[in-house]
Structure 1
Amino acid sequence: MFGGIKYRINRLQDMAFRRYISHYIVQAMQLNTQRNKVITCDFILEADTSPQDEFELFKYIYGQHNEYFVPYYIINEHCAAYPEIKAKYGDNIIPYSAENIVSFAFYMKELFKTTKFICGGFQVLHALCLGITDGCKRSPYVYSFFTQHGVNFFKDNFISQSSYSAFLFDKIMISNDFEKNLFMNRACYKEENLVKNGLFRWDLLSADHAQSNKSIFIYFTHRRYLRNIEDIQDTVYVRTITSLLRNKEFNRLIEENGYTVQVALHHTVLQVCGNDILQGVQILKDEEIADAKKNAALLITDYSSMCFEMWFQHKPVIFLNVPDTEDCLTYGHKTDLPAPYSGKEDYIFNVAQNVDECVSMLGHYFATGFRFSQEECQKRDRFFYYNSDFCARFYQYLVDTRNDTKTLYHLPVNFSMEFARCPDINTYAIELPTPHGRWVVRKKAHFSFFVPTDSKDLAIQIRFRPYLRYKQYKFFAKVGVNGHWLPRREVFTRGIKAFVLDVPRSWIGADGKIEIQFKFSHVYKRSQLRIPGGDQRYLSIQLLTMDLLERDHSFAEVKDQFEAINEERARQRALLEQGQDEEWSNQHDTDADE
């Protein structure tokens, strides 16, 4: 009993602290100060990961002797590398740990007063729930960069509006056109916010003069579902790896050519399964992996981003498919991929469907001296915009944009937007988007934006989907614009609905600000609605689209203006669908004739 009370008290204290510190972090980022700090961090939430890409960027900026920026690197203070790094770089290293979150947050609050750029390869600063993401998105002075860790190429289904998107970062660094299209289509970035470069850790490698020892590197990436399985040794994942290592032809090739084999697994697999997961096979430590991939002649992997380093050095990679589609689908962890190679045929090569195919490909490379074919060279070159100077190029980009400021929350008139794809509105009590829209999460909520100051009377249509379930068969909604409220409306039918707003110029201030406000009543709590697990819907409505138009006074009422627009849209959709049906029918007839 007392343990439960203590837990609830601690939880309330934690929530109160995070709300308090978030407020002041947002304030710190909105100060118009002289900003010359660059904050970098890798995956700080776990102690058993070594410094990676962002540490390389930090070292490069540190080596410029504060010419333009003062760099800082956040690291988990329990990381094995922390004492040495702290001793070398002193106060430019910021220690983080879960138990010291309070002192860390207050230190960061002060640092954010003069920070210009925040660069990270993960969403860890967002995951800390300290208001850092909110502060960046609301600040005209501070820019956040997702400089990526390579998670996106194979795990492209992991990219969404709520993951690594323009709703969380201002800009993103990309390595090739695949990533460009991925982040524009799935993460809602505009092309001007994409920075062409490559991973900072590639500066440690040579694209044209790479050396290798007589070693084959085997590295398999993580599987979240392993934590759900009792007998790890009987999984397809483990059986595939061990069958390769015990394959007679594989071992013959290694021994006859005088090679060695080095094996590593993703650190999250070792956390769950332990270092003896492969029973008798020595597994490299995390800090030994960098040298292994630098010295290896060839990599065998499932779909690890280690392949990028090998391709970068013009070294071949064999992708050994782990046929664990059933396990991936059964347990449903979104980073476990049932079809990791699909859609990437223009970039990857050497996909082996079983161990025998993998060993055959390995034999081919032994026979050819591990050289790329012409087609493999073309695919490799397609993957990289550049072959060197990644830290220097990005640093110059920061120097060139150090005086830039953001124009926040400005929308043009005669504009239609999807709430799921437009990050450029200021929201309160409105959740991050799903692929379809954004759920309102409190009984009072609002979003705001600015229109051009010379705008005239406006007509606004907001399409939404109500959440009606169990005993919540209706609720009441009020909508207002800049403090002018429409009559309360009863919402009691499912399907897509719309709020239609007639906004005269007199309601719009001199700065052009528009604030759309919501008030809901007769809404039940989630616990009262028997919401099934995993259902991400909230409260009352999901915002879908908004039309922001100049008011056409040839229509007596604003609803008439939108009825005409909606009818025309329906007609255009019908014509499009008819054309698609005719195209399919013609193609079907052609196929039948053939």
Structure 2
Amino acid sequence: MSITNKKYPGFPLLNKCKGILNIKKAQSADSSLTLTIELPPAAQKDSTRFLIQKENDPTPEQLSFCPLEDSSFLLDLSPLKEEVTFGKKVTFCFFIECIQDEEKQLYALKEETPPSVLADRYRMFAQNLWLSPSPDVLPVEYVGIAAGKVNMEDFFCAALCSRNHYLELSHSCNLRSFKMPRGKLRICFDLETGNYEYTKTELAFRSKLASDAAAYDFETISTKRRGNMLRVTALLDLNKIQWKSLYWGVDVHLKDSITGNTGKVSITMNTPFRMFLKFLYNRSLPGEKNFFLFPYYTATRKLAFTYREKNPYDGLDIVFKEFLSMFLYRIAKPYWKKKHILLVCEKFSSMAQDNGYYFFKHCMDKNEEAYLKKNIYYIITKDSPDRSKLAPYKDHVLDFMSIRHMCYLLAADLIVSSDSRYHTYPLQSRHSVFNRDIKKIPFVFLQHGVIALKCVDNFYGKGQKGGCDLFVVSTNAEKKIIVDNFGYEPEEVINTGLPRWDVLKDNSQGKREILIMPTWRNWLDSVPDKDFEESDYFRSYMSLLNSRRLADILEKYDLEINFYLHAKFQEYSDQFQSKSHRIHLISFGEVAVNEMLMRCRMLITDYSSVCWDVLYQDKPSLFYQFDLDKYDEAHGSYLDMKTELFGDRAENEEQLLTLLEEQIKNDFRLKPQYEEMRKSYFQFKDQAHSRHICEEIKEKLL
């Protein structure tokens, strides 16, 4: 019988425990932990073993320990320090194995009476573990802590995490007042300092790139001690800041009064503050052009700011529309639930040309509604260039942000999308409350590519904001990446291939087209036009599009190029120009991506997953990776870009053009080593990928 009603797939030993033993006392020192435990009757102390299981690792490790007096044990935790990983919290769960009546019995551990003071609850057994992903990035200090894990029913665990994360756990920091008149930000908060000293408050730009770092110090107006809390009032003139898009956070800096080590915490907002900010507070600071700055709270309830361009969904009117939809849904809830709604969409609910559309089209054409016993609807904006494709299914089309769309979203049994479930609704809406309902709807993630060239587990991982209930992949290698890195069980990851591959075939015969399709960069997301034009990304592709050598190659071999930006960068498409009549700059919606992929003889990309669509068709790709170091720092990859790609790669323009001419002379054939890689990748090439997905949905979710 399990000791818990909840499932913790990361710690399977919890399901094998006979019971729970109470920790009477816990005390840490450097690389060690002393636990006083009341063993069960008849347990043999000299045959006791301590085990520790790393999250998502099925094999537990035995801990060395020394028995002390009074049922105490000194545990050696030094091996845990070898598991420290940059950018990740590594968690372990403690277990004790006893011999009772000549049988081995396994127990989990909990503290009998956890300390009431947060700072005392988390025992530190390691510190000064400094890590950096590259010489260009400042190192981060990691520490080892042991405590009852709050989101795991207080089972006793250890973790290796950044000092900042430890401080967030062990030191509360709560907002008391907030004002922003005429751009003068004045905040007051209560800080639990413990053994730390308050040093300053800072507004910091959130970016993974060290080169993008920007921070501005508040002026500390006053500090007043109130018991174990310090009340701080701080002021910052927002009018003097050079704003960058997108996210800014408020950090409160602390220094350990004994060791001198430093860290920082964010400011937590309680429920009344969050409701005030969401429904009543509409002030903002105007920026350049149509940009503006406004406060919001993060998923972890922290005070933060967004600087971005305004959109039609930022007004308070969205609140009234949402409440009307919720009223209409709730007064007729039995009716809505009988409809058994399945919703399909693509990026921003503005497209019908990717996996979402082809899955929906298959379901309509093959009557999968009857098979799945669902009424299936497609969400799309009224002005979408792809809207005409949906004309044959007009009764199953929902106008994005109509009252009908909003009611159907509240009533949905399942969402199937090529992007996260939140693309069923505006991604950026200052006052919207619908996200809390959307996250409860079961979700099948079709993807819009193959995951390998970009690390996205921090968003699409299980339990993360973009997490799902069923994860579609296209190769066994990709499935291994998802299971190993995203926290999903193998049965939650289905290797069916992508729906758009149902219609994917090589239509390049008689055509002389090359497709250039770069992906996006998160450090350029929603930046002003001026900043985009000064980026290496823009300058590198503008140089390529206007290269004299490239123009000569196109003339010599009678070729043309279609250049297509990622959807997230379409707002900058007008900035790109080319003098060559053989280079065509394709705007979003002008030509379907699938059509360009089928027409091209080959692909030039950087890190885009569309390279898998091209490989599926037995056509070559070249990888133009002029900013690999910066990309690795900001995004990362599950493959070694220098050794594991299925195409040649270039780091500068001259290398790229040399490889391009070589590929042209080879009549656009895959090189033998890449042909062998292609054969090993794909499980299905039967152009029935949507059907396989329907079968998996019915088996696993319905």
Q: How many residues align?
A: 377
Pairing 1:67–2:364 present: no
Check whether the contact 1:176–1:385 (CA below 8 A) recurs between aligned residues: yes
Q: The residue matched to 1:375 in structure 2 has which SS?
A: helix
In the alignment, the residues of structure 2 paired with residue 67 and residue 107 of structure 1 have an alpha-carbon distance, to the nearest angstrom, of: 19
Q: CA deviation at 1:123?
A: 1.4
Q: CA deviation at 1:305?
A: 2.0
Amino acid across the alignment from 1:73: Y
Pairing 1:300–2:604 present: yes
Q: Which residue of 2 aligns with 1:180?
A: 479
Q: Which residue of 2 aligns with 1:170?
A: 469
Q: CA deviation at 1:38?
A: 3.0
Residues 220 and 105 (structure 1), Cα distance of their counterparts in 2 relative to 1, 3 Å cut: same
Specify every segment of 5 or more residues in structure 2 that has no aligned partner in the other structure, as ranges.
1-180, 183-276, 285-313, 426-433
User: Equivalent pairs: percent with the same residue?
Assistant: 19
In the alignment, the residues of structure 1 paired with residue 325 and residue 460 of structure 2 have an alpha-carbon distance, to the nearest angstrom, of: 23
Q: Which residue of 2 aligns with 1:125?
A: 422
**Cα deviation 1:181-240 (Å, max 9, x = unaligned):** 222233211011111111111122127x86461111112222343426735444321232
Q: Which residue of 2 aligns with 1:238?
A: 538
Residue from 559, 562, 571 that aligns with 1:259: 559
Q: Which residue of 1 aligns with 2:690?
A: 391
1:2-13 alignment runs, 5 A limit:
7=282
Q: CA deviation at 1:55?
A: 0.9
1:568-579 alignment runs, 5 A limit:
none
**Cα deviation 1:133-169 (Å, max 9, x = unaligned):** 4433xxxxxx42111112632222x222x53535532
Q: Which residue of 1 aligns with 2:652?
A: 354
Q: Which residue of 1 aligns with 2:447?
A: 148
Residue from 657, 669, 688 that aligns with 1:371: 669
In the alignment, the residues of structure 1 paired with residue 448 and residue 642 of structure 2 have an alpha-carbon distance, to the nearest angstrom, of: 18
In the alignment, the residues of structure 2 paired with residue 31 and residue 165 of structure 1 have an alpha-carbon distance, to the nearest angstrom, of: 32
Q: Which residue of 1 aligns with 2:391?
A: 87
Check whether the contact 1:198–1:390 (CA below 8 A) recurs between aligned residues: yes
Larger helix percent: 1
Check whether the contact 1:213–1:297 (CA below 8 A) recurs between aligned residues: yes
In the alignment, the residues of structure 2 paired with residue 44 and residue 133 of structure 1 have an alpha-carbon distance, to the nearest angstrom, of: 15
Amino acid across the alignment from 1:299: L
In the alignment, the residues of structure 2 paired with residue 104 and residue 51 of structure 1 have an alpha-carbon distance, to the nearest angstrom, of: 20
Q: Which residue of 2 aligns with 1:422?
A: none
In the alignment, the residues of structure 2 paired with residue 296 and residue 96 of structure 1 have an alpha-carbon distance, to the nearest angstrom, of: 33
Q: The residue matched to 1:201 in structure 2 has which SS?
A: helix
Larger strand percent: 2
**Cα deviation 1:462-520 (Å, max 9, x = unaligned):** xxxxxxxxxxxxxxxxxxxxxxxxxxxxxxxxxxxxxxxxxxxxxxxxxxxxxxxxxxx
Q: The residue matched to 1:283 in structure 2 has which SS?
A: strand
Q: CA deviation at 1:398?
A: 3.5
Q: CA deviation at 1:258?
A: 1.5
Residue from 594, 598, 607 that aligns with 1:290: 594
In the alignment, the residues of structure 2 paired with residue 130 and residue 26 of structure 1 have an alpha-carbon distance, to the nearest angstrom, of: 17
Q: Which residue of 1 aligns with 2:20?
A: none
Residues 16 and 345 (structure 1), Cα distance of their counterparts in 2 relative to 1, 3 Å cut: farther
Pairing 1:58–2:360 present: yes
In the alignment, the residues of structure 2 paired with residue 150 and residue 21 of structure 1 have an alpha-carbon distance, to the nearest angstrom, of: 34
Q: The residue matched to 1:44 in structure 2 has which SS?
A: helix
Pairing 1:250–2:547 present: no
Q: The residue matched to 2:562 in structure 1 has which SS?
A: strand
Check whether the contact 2:421–2:443 (CA below 8 A) recurs between aligned residues: no
Q: The residue matched to 1:186 in structure 2 has which SS?
A: helix
Normalised TM-score (structure 1)? 0.55
RMSD: 3.9
Q: CA deviation at 1:32?
A: 12
Residue from 654, 674, 679 that aligns with 1:381: 679
Amino acid across the alignment from 1:203: D
Check whether the contact 1:53–1:199 (CA below 8 A) recurs between aligned residues: yes
In the alignment, the residues of structure 1 paired with residue 365 and residue 534 of structure 2 have an alpha-carbon distance, to the nearest angstrom, of: 50
Q: CA deviation at 1:390?
A: 0.9
Normalised TM-score (structure 2)? 0.47
Residues 342 and 7 (structure 1), Cα distance of their counterparts in 2 relative to 1, 3 Å cut: same
Amino acid across the alignment from 1:365: Q
Q: The residue matched to 1:220 in structure 2 has which SS?
A: coil
Check whether the contact 2:417–2:445 (CA below 8 A) recurs between aligned residues: yes
Residues 23 and 352 (structure 1), Cα distance of their counterparts in 2 relative to 1, 3 Å cut: farther
Check whether the contact 1:154–1:341 (CA below 8 A) recurs between aligned residues: yes
Q: CA deviation at 1:311?
A: 0.8
Check whether the contact 2:496–2:689 (CA below 8 A) recurs between aligned residues: yes
Higher-RCO chain (CA-CA 8 Å, sequence separation at least 6): 1
Amino acid across the alignment from 2:496: N
Q: The residue matched to 1:189 in structure 2 has which SS?
A: coil
Amino acid across the alignment from 1:104: H
In the alignment, the residues of structure 1 paired with residue 520 and residue 691 of structure 2 have an alpha-carbon distance, to the nearest angstrom, of: 32
1:495-574 alignment runs, 5 A limit:
none
Q: The residue matched to 1:216 in structure 2 has which SS?
A: strand
Check whether the contact 1:23–1:131 (CA below 8 A) recurs between aligned residues: no
Check whether the contact 1:217–1:263 (CA below 8 A) recurs between aligned residues: yes
**Cα deviation 1:523-574 (Å, max 9, x = unaligned):** xxxxxxxxxxxxxxxxxxxxxxxxxxxxxxxxxxxxxxxxxxxxxxxxxxxx
Amino acid across the alignment from 2:672: Q
Q: The residue matched to 1:71 in structure 2 has which SS?
A: strand
In the alignment, the residues of structure 1 paired with residue 336 and residue 392 of structure 2 have an alpha-carbon distance, to the nearest angstrom, of: 32
Report the more deviating stretch, 57-66 or 388-397: 388-397
Residues 338 and 148 (structure 1), Cα distance of their counterparts in 2 relative to 1, 3 Å cut: closer
Amino acid across the alignment from 2:407: F
Q: CA deviation at 1:377?
A: 0.8
Amino acid across the alignment from 1:163: Y
**Cα deviation 1:256-285 (Å, max 9, x = unaligned):** 2221222221233231x3413235564112
In the alignment, the residues of structure 2 paired with residue 247 and residue 126 of structure 1 have an alpha-carbon distance, to the nearest angstrom, of: 38
Residues 135 and 235 (structure 1), Cα distance of their counterparts in 2 relative to 1, 3 Å cut: closer
In the alignment, the residues of structure 2 paired with residue 379 and residue 393 of structure 1 have an alpha-carbon distance, to the nearest angstrom, of: 24
Residues 252 and 146 (structure 1), Cα distance of their counterparts in 2 relative to 1, 3 Å cut: same
Residues 322 and 150 (structure 1), Cα distance of their counterparts in 2 relative to 1, 3 Å cut: same
Check whether the contact 2:452–2:637 (CA below 8 A) recurs between aligned residues: no
Specify every segment of 5 or more residues in structure 1 that has no aligned partner in the other structure, as ranges.
137-142, 405-594
Amino acid across the alignment from 1:222: W
Q: Which residue of 2 aligns with 1:499?
A: none
Residues 204 and 86 (structure 1), Cα distance of their counterparts in 2 relative to 1, 3 Å cut: closer
Amino acid across the alignment from 1:236: D
Q: The residue matched to 2:627 in structure 1 has which SS?
A: coil
Q: Which residue of 2 aligns with 1:567?
A: none
In the alignment, the residues of structure 2 paired with residue 42 and residue 374 of structure 1 have an alpha-carbon distance, to the nearest angstrom, of: 36
Q: The residue matched to 2:619 in structure 1 has which SS?
A: coil
Q: CA deviation at 1:375?
A: 1.1
